[in-house]
Amino acid sequence: MSNTPAGTGTPPGGIIDAHLHLATEGMIRRMMERPPAIREEARRRSRPRGMTLDERLQPVAGVTLEQHAAAWLAAFDQAGVEGGVFIAVGEGNEEMAQFVALNPRRLHGVGSLADPRHPDAARTVRTFRARGLCALKLYPPIQRFLANDRMLYPVYEACAEQELAVIFHFGITVGAFYDLSYASPLPLSAVVKEFPEVTFVIAHFGAGFFRETLFLAYHTDNVCVDTSGTNNWRHYSPGEPSLEQVFRDALRAFGPERVLFGTDSTVWGGYRHHILREQVEVLDRLGVTGADRARILGDNARHVFHL
């Protein structure tokens, strides 16, 4: 592909971006129709990513799934990326299934649940493989649950049966209404041992709970991290570690076979070429070469998500 970032030593299978977001008009409208049960004044003042939901709707209004797919594939070609793993903004399993069906070789979709504690949640997860979806995304600070809540165990059982990875967003978030009392990854420690056949991916290096995320690497082999996003949670961490230090610590604790590259790109702002370049430069400075670079930039995602 064209415009491959200098120094990538692009893996033979190509780069897979393991953390992207699909945002459609239908997904945004569903979020608008299901406002959180909070004070009206709080809703009125909320501006996630600097935009209200109405403002976020404007760039995607009237955009078809075919147009979304064409735009993402063009961005991949420009960035030298083979494919990507997409997470819905809000909940949108049917739209996600239709989206990935447009190019199953390069577009890979993650399923979601409006309420992971709902009695029908496990039944919904069991439909993911048939829909062409390769994982489940859970969001404790937004959905307000602890990962070791026994009500979620049927969902984990369904993921084990369907050979689905589970992506968790712990830590801080741009979401307007989140509760950091649910943001620590530590409650996942029992779950990963009770479901050793399931791979659990912690997004954004734990998004501010990096120390706790590193703890989960101990005595486990089914916990991974992804590198996605600006990782600006570092600015709110003691000592403000550099991205290079974060990568070094993650590689030491998890090993290169459990680190997945991602950018956290969305339709707002387009593909984050600068994050791809920044992270490749970090790998260069750390001297990560050959097979380990190939693992981080693509092969780990292929393995974890069965691409």
For the record, the structure tokens of 307 come out as 């691409």
Residue 210: predicted pLDDT:
97
Nearest Cα to 182, choosing from 163, 205, 158, 209?
209
Please indicate, yes or no, if residue 12 is contained in any of the structural domains.
no
Distance, in Å, from the CA atom of 52 to the CA atom of 298, rounded to the nearest integer, reads 34
The CATH number that applies at residue 67 is 3.20.20.140
Other C-beta atoms lying within 10 Å of the C-beta of residue 73: 17
Please indicate, yes or no, if residue 11 is contained in any of the structural domains.
no
Alpha helix stretches (DSSP H) within 102-152:
121-125, 140-143
Number of domains in the chain: 1
Distance, in Å, from the CA atom of 111 to the CA atom of 129, rounded to the nearest integer, reads 9
Residue 54: predicted pLDDT:
73
| Domain boundaries, position 22 | 17-305
Distance, in Å, from the CA atom of 307 to the CA atom of 14, rounded to the nearest integer, reads 12
Residue 4: predicted pLDDT:
43
> What values do phi and psi take at 24, rounded to 5?
-110, 165
Quickly tell me which residue has 């147009």 as its tokens. Answer: 67
Please indicate, yes or no, if residue 1 is contained in any of the structural domains.
no
Flag whether the pTM goes above 0.85.
yes
Residue 28: predicted pLDDT:
84
Please indicate, yes or no, if residue 2 is contained in any of the structural domains.
no
Residue 15: predicted pLDDT:
97
Please indicate, yes or no, if residue 33 is contained in any of the structural domains.
yes
Please indicate, yes or no, if residue 3 is contained in any of the structural domains.
no
Residues 165, 169, 170, 172: what is their CA dihedral angle, to the nearest 10 degrees? 170
Instruction: Give pairs for 39-43: CB < 8 Å, separation 24+.
Output: 42/177, 43/176
Per-residue pLDDT of the chain (307 residues; tens, 9 = 90+): 334 444 445 555 799 999 999 999 888 888 777 766 665 666 666 656 666 667 778 788 889 999 999 999 999 999 999 999 999 987 889 999 999 999 999 999 999 999 999 999 999 999 999 999 999 999 999 899 999 999 999 999 999 999 999 999 998 877 667 789 999 999 999 999 999 999 999 999 999 999 999 999 999 999 999 999 999 999 999 999 999 999 999 999 999 999 999 999 998 889 999 999 999 999 999 999 899 999 999 999 999 999 9
Please indicate, yes or no, if residue 48 is contained in any of the structural domains.
yes
Q: Are 199 and 224 in contact (CB under 8 A)?
A: yes
93-127 burial, b if ≥16 CB within 10 A, otherwise e? bebbbbbbeeeeebbbbbbbbeebeeeebbebbbe
Residue 1: predicted pLDDT:
32
Residue 178: half-sphere exposure toward Cβ, Cα within 13 Å = 17
Please indicate, yes or no, if residue 4 is contained in any of the structural domains.
no
Residue 9: predicted pLDDT:
52
